[in-house]
Amino acid sequence: MDFFTPDQIEALSATTVRCDLLVEMRFKSETFYMWNGNTELETGGKTYLPMYGYGSIDGLGASSNQASETVNFALNGIPDQVPDFLSKVLGETDEVDQRLVIVSLQLFDAEWQPVGSPAPLWWGFMQPPRVSRTEMQGVEGAVQTVSMTAENAFFNRSRPPYGRYTDRDQQKRYPGDKFFQYMAKLLHAVFTYPDY
């Protein structure tokens, strides 16, 4: 079985190759399909929501070895539209943390119609998102950005299971042990010793 269909090979052999990346984020409660175009895209039996060019993917590359990789996904504020998945991403860490994300390549013909089904390029596990905001520039408003890192299957492969110093990992190792329960609160705490 070939990776590309004859139609896709013909599109790749053309003088001008039209393509875009499609992203599938499998949150805990729902799966979202996105692409950076301006309209909804029907391909491979799925409907991809438009991000109007405000999305970006950084760190995606071709790797021939089993190396650890991270890919960063970012979405700058979309004017007049707040997609449902943003509230989902920012609402609960459990909704995102360690959930599957798949990046695929979609080829298009001269009329920007999909050629064949999306070809998966990369997959990884999402990490909790971060929100940042730029400073205002004169009369221009600030831009709010939601970014998220995803790690491939080889990230931390040498680390033993549940090897982090977190309450969640400690509960998996020793259920009921509360040794790391207050770790985050103690990170920047100041202790005076001896205390007279």
**Model pLDDT for residues 33-84, shown as the tens digit of each residue:** 999 999 999 999 999 999 888 888 988 876 655 566 788 888 876 544 445 5
- Structural domains of the chain, count: 2
| Total Cβ atoms within 10 A of residue 121 | 14
191: domain range? 160-196
How many CB atoms within 10 Å of residue 34?
20
Distance between CA 102 and CA 26 in Å, rounded?
Answer: 8
**Token pair recorded at residue 182:** 């207050």
In a domain, 69, yes or no: yes
Element (H, E) at 122: strand 114-126
Q: State the pLDDT at residue 97.
A: 85
Instruction: Look up the pTM and report it.
Output: 0.68
- Which residues lie below 8 Å from residue 77, measured CB to CB, with a gap of 6+? 54, 143, 144, 145
Where residue 101 falls among pLDDT bands split at 50, 70, 90?
very high
Same domain, 58 and 127: yes
Q: Are residues 193 and 100 in the same domain?
A: no
The verdict on 131 and 183 lying in the same domain is: no
Residues 23 and 56 in one domain: yes
Interatomic CA distance for residues 18 and 11, integer angstroms: 8
Q: Phi first, then psi: what are they for 16, rounded to 5°?
A: -115, 120
